[in-house]
Amino acid sequence: MTEPAAVVLDSASALDIAQLRHVRPRHWGRIVSATCLLVLLALLVHAFAIGQINWATVGVYLTWPTILAGLLNTIIMSVCAMALGIVLGVAAAVARMSPNPVLRSTAIGYAWLFRGTPVILQLLLWFNLALIFPVLGIPGLWSARAVTVITPFAAALLGLGLNEGAYVSEIVRAGLLSVDAGQYEAAKSIGMSHSLSLRRIILPQAMRVVVPPLGNQFITLVKTTSLASVIEYAELLHNAENIYYSNAKVMELLFVAAFWYLVVVTALSFGQAVLERRFARGIARAR
Amino acid sequence: MTPIVSAVKVGKSFGTVQALSDITMDVAAGEVVCLIGPSGSGKTTFLRCINQLERFDSGALFLEGELVGYRRAGDRLHPLAEAQIAQQRRATGMVFQRFNLFPHLTALGNITEGPVQVLRQRPAEAAEHARSLLAQVGLSHKADAYPSQLSGGQQQRVAIARALAMRPRLMLFDEPTSALDPELVGEVLAVMRDLAERGTTMITVTHELSFAREVGHRVIFMDGGRVVETGPARELLSNPQEARTRGFLAAVLS
Ligand SMILES: Nc1ncnc2c1ncn2[C@@H]1O[C@H](COP(=O)(O)OP(=O)(O)O)[C@@H](O)[C@H]1O
Ligand SMILES: [Mg+2]
C-alpha cells in the first residue's frame, strides 16, 4: 500500500482540484546534461580549430581523385563482400536448421573455421595462396597461375565475404528461430514445399529480426575493408596512407578518410531504417 | 463410393509414447465427423497424420483411395519424397487452434498465397476467389487488414478461408475455437456450420458439444490413442455406451 498523494476531504474541494491546469513534467537532468555536453563539444571543436591541422588541406583532399577512387573501391568491396556474405550466410543458416546431419555439420564447421581466425590472417592466407598452390584449376578442364587469379580484389573478396558469411549465418539463424513453428506448419498445410515456405513465409518474417544486426554487420564490414590495405587493395584508407607517406600530411588525410567513412555509414543507417520499416509490415509492435 | 478418408489400423508413437493405436475409421463424402476425447488422447496427432504434418508408423491411411505418405513396393511401404507429400497435402485444408495466419501478409494475401504460389493461379483470378471466400466468412471489409489488426474470431475465419482457397476435398479443424474469447466462438462455429450445410467433408476436434450435436453427423470418442466409441452424433452424446465416454461427457458438461 502506498500513501495517497493528497487526501481529499470533500467533493467540493475535489471538484476544485479537478479544475486545475496540468503542468507537463520538467526534465531538469536532461537540460543540465545537454548543456554540459554542448560546452564540451564546443571546447573540442575549438581545440581542433586552433590545433596544428591545416583545414584547407583537408578540404582539398576531400575530393582528390585518388581519395575518391579509394572511396569507390571501399564501397564496391563492401557491397560485393556483403552480397557474398548474405548468400553464404543464408545458405549456411538454412543448412544449419536442416534435418540432414551432413548439411548441419558442414554449416557448423564453416562458422567455426571462419569465426575462429582473425580476418586479417584470412586475407593474408588468400593473398598468399600461390605459395602452396602455384597453379589453380580443375584438372583437365581449366587452370591458371595463382598469382594472376588471386588479385588483391579477389583475395579481399574471398577473405571478407567468407568471413562475413560465417557471421551472417548466425544472424539469419537467430531470425529463423524467432519465427513461430506454427508458421512452418501453416505453410506446409497449404501445400508449400520446404524451400517455397522458407522463401515466402519464413525468411520474410525472419527479416524483421535479422535486419538490425545485419545492418550493424554491414557497417562493421565497411570499416573492416580497411584491413584489405595490407594486401594492397586500393581502398580508402590505403590510398589516404599512400598520400601521406609522400606529403606527411598525416592528420589531414586521416580526417579526410574518417569523413568519408562517416558519410558511407550514415547512408547505410538510413537504408537500414527504411528496410526495418519495410519488414515491420503487419507486425504490431510495442515500441 | 470411395470414402474420403479411410484409416486402417493407423498407429503412431513418439519415442515410448504410443499416441495412436489401431485407429480404424471411414469418413464419407459430405460427412461431418466430430472427434472428442480428453487431452492427450491423440486427436491432434490423428489430424496431423491425415495431412502429414506427422508421419504415422504403422497401418495405412487412404485419401480418396490413394495411400497417404507411402508407396508400396512389394511387401513394403516406402515413404514418399517431400514433393509428393506436399502434393498430397493439397487435398486437405487444415485449421489450427492458434490460427497461424501469416502476419506479414494481409487477409487477402494470406488467402491468395497458396493458390498463387503453389497452384500457380493467376493473381487476379486468385484474388477474385479470395474475395468471394472472404464474403463467405463475413469479412469482405477486412481484405486489406493484417492479422494483427483482426480479432481472434476474425483471424480464425480468415484461416478457414485460406484453407478453403486450395479447394480441398477434406477440411480438418483442430479445436478451432478453443483459443478464442467466449463471445467470439459463435462467429467461427457459424462459418463452420455454413460449410457443413454446403456439403463440405470435415473432421473437427472440438469441445463444443452443442455444435457436435447439431452439426455433426457422427461423433468419435477417443481415449489413450484409441477409438473408444463411435456413433451418430445425437445418439452418442445423449446415450453413450462406454463407461469412459460417459465419464468424459459428464466431466465436460459439469
Ligand atoms: N511432437 C510430440 N512429441 C512427443 N510427444 C507428443 C508429440 N505430440 C503429441 N505427443 C503425445 O502424444 C499424445 C497425444 O497427443 P495429442 O494428439 O496432442 O492429443 P490431443 O490433441 O488429443 O490432446 C500425448 O501423450 C502427447 O503428449
Ligand atoms: Mg490437441
Q: Domain containing A146 — which CATH number?
A: 1.10.3720.10
A258 lies in a domain? no
For ligand 1, atom 17: residue with the closest CA = B42
What residues in A contact B145, CB-CB < 8 Å?
A: none
Question: How many Cβ atoms from other residues are within 10 Å of residue A200's Cβ?
Answer: 19
B222 lies in a domain? no
Question: Considering chain A, what percentage of its residues have pLDDT values greater than 70?
Answer: 95
How far, in Å, CA of B27 to CA of B2, rounded?
Answer: 9
B112 lies in a domain? yes
Q: Residues near A171 by Cβ (< 8 Å), separated by ≥ 6?
A: A89, A93, A210, A213, A214, A217
B253 lies in a domain? no
- What pLDDT shows up at residue B41? 96
- What pLDDT shows up at residue A286? 39
pLDDT digits (tens, 9 = 90+) for B198-213: 999 999 999 999 999 9
pLDDT digits (tens, 9 = 90+) for A28-75: 899 999 999 999 999 999 988 888 888 888 899 999 999 999 999 999
- What pLDDT shows up at residue A287? 36
A215 lies in a domain? yes
- What pLDDT shows up at residue A50? 85
Instruction: Spell out which chain A residues touch chain B, with contact meaning CB-CB distance below 8 angstroms.
Output: 180, 182-183, 185-194, 196, 200-201, 204-205, 279, 281-284
Closest partner residue to A182 (CB to CB) among B86, B89, B98 is B98
Q: Which three cell numbers stand for residue A182?
A: 506454427
Question: How many Cβ atoms from other residues are within 10 Å of residue B141's Cβ?
Answer: 10
Cell numbers 503412431 correspond to what residue?
B12
With CB atoms and an 8 Å threshold, state whether B118 touches A196.
Answer: yes
Q: Which of residues 21-80 of B touch A (CB under 8 A)?
A: 51, 53
B150 lies in a domain? yes
pLDDT digits (tens, 9 = 90+) for B217-226: 999 999 999 9
Q: Rounding to the nearest 10 degrees, give the CA dihedral for residues B227, B232, B237, B243.
A: -40
How far, in Å, CA of A107 to CA of A166, rounded?
Answer: 9
- What pLDDT shows up at residue A2? 55
Chain A: closest CA distance from residue B174 (Å) = 13
Domain range for B143 is: 101-167
Q: Which of A274, A203, A201, A281 is nearest to B147 (CA)?
A: A281
- What pLDDT shows up at residue A25? 86
CB B175 within 8 A of CB B41: no
Q: Which three cell numbers stand for residue A217?
A: 554487420
Q: Which residue of B has its CA nearest to A197?
A: B117
B115 lies in a domain? yes
**What does the radius of gyration of chain A's CA atoms come to, in whole angstroms?**
27
B133 lies in a domain? yes
Could you give the number of structural domains in chain A?
A: 1
The CA-CA-CA angle for residues A23, A24, A25, to 5°, reads 115
How far, in Å, CA of A132 to CA of A146, rounded?
Answer: 9
Q: ipTM of this predicted complex?
A: 0.93
**Helix (H) or strand (E) segment spanning residue B36:** strand B32-36
Closest partner residue to B102 (CB to CB) among A193, A194, A201 is A201
pLDDT (average), residues A162-188: 95
A260 lies in a domain? no
Q: Residues near A259 by Cβ (< 8 Å), separated by ≥ 6?
A: A58, A62
Closest partner residue to B117 (CB to CB) among A185, A192, A282 is A192
Could you give the number of structural domains in chain B?
A: 1
| Residue B173 pLDDT > 90 | yes
Q: What is the largest CA-CA distance in chain A?
A: 101
Q: Residues near A20 by Cβ (< 8 Å), separated by ≥ 6?
A: none
- Whole-number average pLDDT of chain A: 90
pTM here is 0.85
How far apart are the CA of B56 and the centre of ligand 1, in A? 13
Question: How many Cβ atoms from other residues are within 10 Å of residue B16's Cβ?
Answer: 5
What are residue B12's DSSP bridge partners?
B20
Amino acid at A89: G
